[in-house]
Amino acid sequence: MDIQLLALLLWFPVFALLLLAGYVYMDAPKYDMNPRKWAAIAFFIPFFGFFAYLFERGERTPGPERDMFEEGRVFEIHESRAGEPGIDPGGPRETDEEDDPPKEDR
């Protein structure tokens, strides 16, 4: 077997694992997780360790200075959608009796 092909087949997976472990190491402190532990898991347990990290890290919560219930909104789906206009509250609309057409007797 050609030595270059052998080197490519051996080093490409190792390089991919190093990239995934590097990403985990840089991203874990943002979620208050141990970066060394999760980078080691992502490297030594190929691909499953990386996906375990993604599922375990959870969602980021907004800072305490930001009110999630601003402008009468009940909840927000994600921080990136916080600037979108709110939806009017549902339910029947109140109308004046004068605006309603007269009801016919049957």
- Reported as type and span, the H/E element at residue 33 is none
Measured CA to CA, the distance from residue 87 to residue 66 in angstroms comes to: 20
Query: Model pTM greater than 0.95?
Result: no
pLDDT digits (tens, 9 = 90+) for 83-100: 777 666 665 666 555 555
pLDDT digits (tens, 9 = 90+) for 14-35: 899 999 999 999 999 988 889 9
Q: Is the pLDDT of residue 50 over 70?
A: yes
Domains of the chain, by residue range, sit at 10-58
